[in-house]
Amino acid sequence: MLHRLSPQTIRILALLVVLLLVILFFSTQVPNYLSGRLFNRVSSSVAIMALIATAQTLVILTRNIDLSIGSVVGFVAFATGSLITDNPDLHWTLLVAFSITLGMFFGMINGFFVAVAKVPAIIVTLGTLALFRSVLVEFSDAKSIVTANLPTWLINFPNTPLLEIGTLQLRASFAVAVAVVLVVHIALSRIRIARKLYAVGSNPEAAEMAGINIGLTVFTAFVLSGALAGLAGFLFLARFGTITVVAGLGFELKSVAAAVVGGVNIFGGSGLVIGALIGAILVDLIDSSLVRWHLVSEFWREAVLGGLILLAVTMDTLVMRSLAVWRTARSNSKEDRRANVQSP
Amino acid sequence: MMQRTGSTTCLTFLQAAADMAPSDGIRLRFDSEAASIHGEADCSEGQDYRWRKETGMTCWGHTGQMYTPKSAQGAMQPRRWRNEMKILTTIWATLLVVLSTAVLASGHVKMLESGKDIDMVLLPKFLGILVFDQANEGAQEAHAELKNNGDLLFVGPTPENSVAGQIEIVTTAATQGQGVVMLSNNAGDQIVPAATAAMEAGTRVVTWDSPIPSGEGEDVFVAQVDFGSIGEVMAEMAHSLLDGNGQMAVLSATPDAANQNAWIASMQEALKDTKYADIELVDIVYGDDQAELSYNRALALVDQYPDLGVIMSPTTVGIQASAKAMQDEGLCDQVKVSGLGLPSEMVSYTLNGCAPEFALWDFRDLGYLTYYTAYGLASGQLTGEIGETFMAGRMGEFAIEEDPGRPGSRRILMGPFTVYNADNVEAAAK
């Protein structure tokens, strides 16, 4: 059975098992843990992170990284907020389009330096991380976007229940995030152009030989990632209402963590956005559960989370490696048998 | 709360209050029940007053400004002596004021000479936050008032680089030979080496908003309010929101934020009072001053403690994130949010009942007072010794004292702070 599944599928299954174990563990530790509320909490808070983890995955697949993603989310949230504050009657489609376009613009800046100027992505985005944030500080003029100035439809949007089963709600923000993840997942697995991201990441030389325009592919990855970050910025605004210059601070690390825990190879070329989604859920679940677990003091929360991420990645590597060894051995023995049969 | 029946005037109210010999901090509400109000004292209908041993009555809530009614002292006297005493008191008081002003002016209260040439740096925790810009406005006002020929620079790190950036700016300021750095410290004791080096190079270091925890490398800390009284106010707000009975939890900034930790400790101290015997502080969590984390923390608290009645958040980020979380989940009827917040960010939550009451001080005033202090020190007009008193322009007289929270360090206490509720939040938000 195990040998028929692709390593990626096994990884997803393993993640789901870990997710289940985490939930079971905390339900024995924390009173009132298992309830519809738990799902509502995690699903609403993971919506933004799922989009960002997906955006990060697109870039990581091409052997790059986007550290500026938190600054982009923050800037888009602020700019979108000030746009709707000044024009309260703006149609929602225009507002969403604005967020996405602005995100794409930042993606283009990153993409230009990485793909055209050939500067390593970690350097470029480390620079733009600070740069975009500084532009935001300048642009904001020390004002905050406040909930009172936002239209009601925007504030109510993220928590609108689309489906209710008891206390369990499927909320609009989570639905949007899952829809985006699914679309990206299908695109990455079915569409030829999107497969180029994997090709470029797994072996750039081979990809070039195969006639793939590496620069263009990397540029596209950054622009798409920017678009998703822009959408995440829109959701961020809708969810939190009050936006200051610290919005989205630290998202770069969380998004990388979610993607890596979700089985996306940090050296590019392999990984699924579904994995990144589950990774985001796992990180969020552990983080919010640790707050309620009194055995771990607040001071150790970050350390525990960091330890768990390390553990997850190490386990993943070890399991995948032994799986590969086991498979090679298995197929070798099969070939041996076949050879034995043919030889006499 | 004291209830009076029949015709109550402000005077009898104060009289009765004095007769009760109330303990410090007790709350009294003036209720005239349609009686005419005499002009002797500045009491207002429906307004809460708080008893202070040293000053008599101070106003509380409503307008929120702490003040002492003009004739509170006179009103304490037995009624039959009222008129005579009033005249006498007025005469004596006038004499005293005249005398003391003369004495103080000649001896103790230093008037700062304007027109010096001092380069100054105002360094917030990081740029882009409204309260720090308000502090800058206050400093600019003082800068113009004192006709300083030097420059006042408002420089700060970006949010993601706060700690390292602050250290760098302090170091640079010393190298440039700035006269004084006014620092809202976000780097804990990590700033000490840079601040000490700056002082050795002749640059004075005045902290405001958030001090250097150890007090090393700092001339004086300009405290917004007495850190102990913030605890009292938070306990008091929780008491009124819970009607004296229930569970509360604290949502703070980072676990190592010096000012928040001091305020929480002082609140825990205040909660020991028998008045708060039925209020249980169930948990303290940290939202790292980030909207998303604070929001999730607030919801985790509600899930963890089904009977929770109040979330107290002594940080402007935490309080609005908690209020938004309660509003989004429709929990505002069960769980009230309070703490320290900005009127402009809190106005909608105060009006819809999610956060009926919260407090804050005036950051413009804080910037203004910090500037006066820093200017005085850097121009050599102030030595920074304990007991030194000076005039800080429109804000009046201030004294340098030992910081009760940090023995061996010095502070200047600004105060008061304002309690905001549905009556005054809209005006303040503009």
ipTM of the complex: 0.80
Cα distance between residue A60 and residue A62, in whole Å:
5
Distance CA B296, CA B315 (A): 15
pLDDT recorded at residue A342: 56
Candidates B184, B303, B337, partner chain A, best to mutate (most A CBs within 10 A): B303
Measured between beta carbons, which residues in chain A are less than 8 angstroms from residue B289?
246
Residue B397 dihedral angles phi and psi, to the nearest 5°: -90, 140
All residues of chain A having their beta carbon less than 8 Å from the beta carbon of residue B317 are 244, 246
Provide the pLDDT for residue B61. 34
- CA nearest neighbour of B263 among B355, B135, B124, B360: B360
Closest CA to A61 of A275, A204, A216, A269: A269
At residue B107, does pLDDT exceed 60? no
Taken in order A198, A204, A210, A213, the sign of the CA dihedral is positive
Three-point CA angle B153, B157, B163, nearest 5°:
125
Closest Cβ–Cβ partner in B255, B297, B344 for A146: B344
Determine the longest span between alpha carbons in chain A, in angstroms.
85
Q: Does B295 touch chain A (CB under 8 A)?
A: yes
Winning range, highest mean pLDDT, from A192-196, B37-41, B85-89, B179-183: B179-183
Contacts of B320 in chain A (CB under 8 A): 147, 241-242
Are B246 and B276 within 8 A, CB to CB? no
Check: pTM over 0.80? Answer yes or no.
no
How far apart are alpha carbons B260 and B125 in whole angstroms? Answer: 14
Q: Which residues contact A241 (CB under 8 A, 6 or more apart)?
A: A145, A146, A147, A150, A155, B320, B324
A240–chain B nearest CA distance, Å: 7
Helix H or strand E encompassing A27: helix A7-29
Tell me what pLDDT residue A1 has. Answer: 56
Q: Do residues B16 and B47 touch, judged by C-beta distance below 8 A? A: no
Task: Between B1 and A222, name the one with better pLDDT.
Answer: A222
Domain A2-303, architecture per CATH: Orthogonal Bundle (1.10)
* Residues in contact with A35: Cβ distance below 8 Å, sequence separation at least 6, in sequence order: A167, B303
* Nearest beta carbon to residue B300 from set A134, A158, A288: A288
CB-based contact B345:A242 (threshold 8 Å):
yes
Task: Say which of B290, B295, B303 has its CB closest to residue A249.
Answer: B290
pLDDT of residue A230 exceeding 80, the answer is yes
Please, which pLDDT band fits residue B161 given cuts at 50, 70 and 90?
confident
Which chain A residues are Cβ-neighbours of B295 within 8 angstroms?
45, 239-240
The C-alpha angle A57, A174, A14, rounded to 5 degrees, equals 55
Query: What does the pLDDT read at residue B108?
Result: 72
* C-alpha distance from B402 to closest chain A C-alpha (Å): 31
Please report residues of B whose CB lies closer than 8 A to that of A31.
304
| Mean pLDDT score of chain B | 80
Question: Per the omega criterion (within 30 degrees of 0), is the bond before B416 cis?
Answer: yes
Confidence of residue B109 (pLDDT cuts 50, 70, 90): confident
Q: Does A136 touch chain B (CB under 8 A)?
A: yes
Both tokens of residue A217?
């592919």
* B255/A298 CB distance under 8 A: yes
Give the pLDDT of residue A116. Answer: 94
State the smallest CA–CA distance between residue B142 and chain A in angstroms. Answer: 20
pLDDT at B18: 52
* % of residues, chain A, pLDDT over 70: 96
pLDDT of res. B174: 93
Contact: B324, A147; criterion CB under 8 Å: yes
CA angle in degrees (0–180, nearest 5) for B182-B184-B187: 120
Contact A147 B321 (CB under 8 A): no
* CB atoms near residue A328 (< 10 Å): 10
Residue B160 sits at the chain A interface (C-beta within 8 Å): yes
Q: In the 8-state DSSP scheme, what is residue A34?
A: S
Tokens of A293: 């677990």
Using an 8 Å Cβ cutoff, are B153 and B170 in contact?
no
- Range from A68-72, A182-186, A327-331 carrying the lowest mean pLDDT: A327-331
Nearest by CB to residue A291, choosing from B160, B297, B347, is B297
B1 pLDDT above the threshold of 60: no
Question: Average of pLDDT values for A70-83?
Answer: 96
Residue A165 bridge partners (DSSP): A168
How far apart are the C-alpha atoms of A74 and A5, rounded to whole Å? Answer: 40
User: In whole angstroms, how far apart are CA A236 and each of A250, A282, B308?
Assistant: 14, 20, 27
- Residue A30 contacts B where some CB pair is shorter than 8 Å: yes
- ∠A91-A92-A97 over CA atoms, to 5°? 105
CB B186 within 8 A of CB B210: yes
Shortest CB distance from B345 goes to which of A133, A242, A250?
A242
A130–B160 C-beta distance less than 8 A: yes
Q: How far apart are the C-alpha atoms of A228 and B243, rounded to whole Å? A: 47
- Nearest chain B residue to A299 by CA distance is B255
Confidence of residue B105 (pLDDT cuts 50, 70, 90): very low
Which backbone phi and psi does B284 adopt, to 5 degrees? -125, 120
The reply to whether A295 touches chain B by the CB within 8 Å rule is: no
Of B126, B130, B290, the CB nearest to A143: B130
Query: Are residues A115 and A221 in contact, defined by beta-carbon separation less than 8 angstroms?
Result: no
- Please report, as a single letter, which amino acid is at residue A267: F
pLDDT-derived band at A341, boundaries 50, 70, 90: low
Mutation site for B-interface testing, chosen from A69, A291, A301 by largest number of B Cβ within 10 Å: A291
> Which chain A residue shows the shortest CA-CA distance from B134?
A142
* Mean residue pLDDT across chain A: 88
Which residue has tokens 């602050």?
B166
Q: Do residue A245 and residue B321 have CB atoms under 8 angstroms apart?
A: no
The better pLDDT of the pair A224, A263 is held by A224
The alpha carbon torsion through A167, A168, A172, A174 (nearest 10 deg) reads: 140
Q: Does A45 contact chain B (CB < 8 Å)?
A: yes
Q: Does B317 touch chain A (CB under 8 A)?
A: yes
Q: Which residues of B touch A143 (CB under 8 A)?
A: 130
Q: Which two tokens stand for residue B296?
A: 């999730």
> Tell me, what's the pLDDT at A59?
96
Give the Cα separation of B101 and B324 in Å (integer).
Answer: 50
User: Which chain A residues are Cβ-neighbours of B290 within 8 angstroms?
Assistant: 246, 249-250
Q: What are phi and psi of A263, to 5 degrees?
A: 90, 15
B377 in Cβ contact with B219 (< 8 Å): yes
